[in-house]
Amino acid sequence: MEAPALDIPASKNTVSVAVVDSASDIIVPTGAFMSPLVPGFEKLEARSFFFLIEQAAGQDGKAPRRILFDLGLRQDWATGLSPVSVKGLRAMLDMKTTEGEPAAKIEVTNDAHTILQQGGVDTDSIEAIVWSHSHVDHTGNPSLFGPNTALVIGPGFGTGTCSCIQHQGHSHPATDEALAPHIFPGYPQDPESVLLESDYKGRTLRELTSADFGTTTIAGLRAFDYFGDGSFYLLDTPGHSPGHLCGLARVQAGPAAADNHFVLMLGDGIHHMSEMRPNPYKPLPAEYAQSTTLFSHFPGGSPTKPLFVPAGTKGASVHLDPQQATAIIAQLAALDAHDNVFSVAAHDMHVYKVLVDAAKTGAPALFPDGTVNDFVARGFVQQTQWTFMKDLVHLV
């Protein structure tokens, strides 16, 4: 099926996008996030990324505007997070596979703030941190940044039924308000909050509203033009969590649609590319589609349907609303269908490995030595399109 046309407003303005490794080695139980559970794929590597987005310097001599999309997991998570968050992460670390092996792991060796400084970024120049959502492997430690760095969150960020990793492995009714996530105020003002007061205290906290999004939509998703010039959009993508945001950055502009190149920052819109691919726009390659055994593990599966879906049901899942998350993924797939869109999920180890290997060619693609602005010329979309199948090749 031919991909729908990209309905992104025209602009000549661009940003630079650097993918930053947050120095976190994380493994989570696959079955808690994705369904169905298949043999040999019970543990999901989930190294976290965040992104440095930078406008070009203006002709008026003003310094370029810089923002961050997410922060990864803070280094001192075991002592620095709220008690509820620490308890939840430790509960996850106690989870086992069906073979009785540990199903989770967390090792963090640095903080986003230090990583940026070591890479030569003046962290006082960061005008805002955009949180894709409230989960601790994305919120980092904003208190390390100066008070002039604002915090931007999506609409309804602090509301909704439980979707937090702090209740990992627990099932409960969506109507049980006692188990709804405590967000604002943060800990210690609210002893049950998953966030900290220090995350936002003393800085501007901006929650986007319907007025911010206006009538602009991209792939049917509400879109907020952050800089007001068409270079960077925040997409309203609830489903995994309340107020979940994705980022869409224009890294090259030109007169024709194909001349405009975009980096799609998926956050936790997906946790593994098999939740978005294959699809009608990107059918599974014949080497997998012709397997006599692969689809025996995916009831109702087909070469044009994602292999996995977000796990659980509403009120009994790490996702706010798995059905809504699935619908959002289908809309994001319409963007991902284009070769001039490079999709990077927050925990995509296969993209990470391709970007790491790029340095071996003498052309680094990871912060601080490179960006992904030239992803089309370097063929990153083609290189990463089906690498996720390495996790499932034993089923083929």
The rounded distance, in Å, linking the Cα atoms of 114 and 158 is 28
Task: Answer whether residue 8 is part of any domain.
Answer: no
What does the alpha-carbon distance between residue 342 and residue 262 come to, in Å, rounded to a whole number? 6
Enumerate residue ranges in the chain where pLDDT < 50: 160-180
Strands of the 217-218 sheet, one edge to the other: 217-218, 221-225, 232-236, 245-252, 261-267, 341-345
Return the pLDDT at 182: 83
Q: Is residue 7 part of a domain?
A: no
Dist. CA 8–CA 253, nearest whole Å: 12
The reported pTM is: 0.94
Among all chains, which residue has been given the structure tokens 């975009």?
262
Instruction: Quote the CA–CA distance of 238 and 242 in Å, as a whole number.
Output: 6
Task: Give domain status of residue 368, yes or no.
Answer: yes
CA 84, 88, 90, 91 torsion-angle sign: positive
pLDDT digits (tens, 9 = 90+) for 312-345: 998 788 999 999 999 999 999 999 999 999 999 9
Alpha helices, H only, the chain = 30-33, 77-80, 83-93, 112-118, 136-139, 197-200, 210-213, 286-289, 322-336, 349-358, 375-378, 380-384
- The CATH number given to whatever domain includes residue 362 is 3.60.15.10
Evaluate whether 241 touches 133 at the Cβ level (below 8 Å): yes
CA distance 321 to 310: 9
Q: Is residue 176 part of a domain?
A: yes
169: number of Cβ within 10 Å: 16
DSSP state of 366: B
> What local confidence, expressed as pLDDT, does residue 1 receive?
87
Q: Which residues pair with 223 in a beta bridge?
A: 235
Q: Which domain holds residue 206?
A: 15-395
The tally of domains found in the chain comes to 1
What does the block give as tokens for 342? 């490079």
Asked, for residue 9, whether it belongs to a domain, the answer is no
Give strand pairing partners of 18: 52
| Residue 5 is assigned to a structural domain of this protein | no
Residue 4 resides in a domain: no
Question: Residue 362: phi, psi to the nearest 5?
Answer: 85, 10
Position 339 in a domain:
yes
